[in-house]
Amino acid sequence: MATKGKKGIYAYIVLVSLALLGLAGLRFYSLYLEHELMALNQQIEALQQKDLLLSQRLLSMMAPDQVVYYASGKLGMTKGLERDSTIRLAIAPGSERFQGDNLPTVAVEKRKTFGIFSAFASAKEDRED
């Protein structure tokens, strides 16, 4: 009978040691996951900084003077002489008909101040006249 009691104690010790080993494994796995989480948080912060810089760059590129500079310098566009126009809306902006696809029609009236030069005052082009 004494050997049966020792086998029970050994089994108990083995079960307790397996439980402690399992807990240690879980602890190491949680440390690994914590390290991964910190790495992901650092990547998120870096991407947020990059997003902020790109947003600032986009705003600077959308500034009117930058658009004019790029259009004239890189695309060869020049200011048209016939650009003096008036836009009139057919419906008042507070109207309820402004929702969905029911947008107002726009009537553009162009003033032909220098109409004879309009063919020559557009973008740069290679003409063989």
What is the residue range of 29's domain? 1-62
Does residue 38 belong to any structural domain of this protein?
Answer: yes
46-97: pLDDT as tens digits:
999 999 999 999 988 888 888 888 888 888 787 664 555 555 555 555 555 5
Structurally, the chain folds into a number of domains equal to 2
* Percentage with pLDDT > 90 across the chain: 37
Q: Which pTM was predicted?
A: 0.43
Q: Taking a C-beta distance cutoff of 8 angstroms, is the pair 124, 80 a contact?
A: no
Q: Domain check: are 5 and 55 in the same one? A: yes
Cross-strand partners of 109: 86
Q: Domain check: are 47 and 1 in the same one? A: yes
Q: Domain check: are 51 and 5 in the same one? A: yes
* Per-residue 3-state assignment (H helix, E strand, C coil) for 43-55: HHHHHHHHHHHHH
Torsion of CA 85, 91, 92, 94, to 10 degrees: -130
97's tokens: 């008909």
43-54: pLDDT as tens digits:
999 999 999 999
23's tokens: 């807990």
Report which DSSP code applies to 122: S
Does residue 127 belong to any structural domain of this protein?
Answer: no
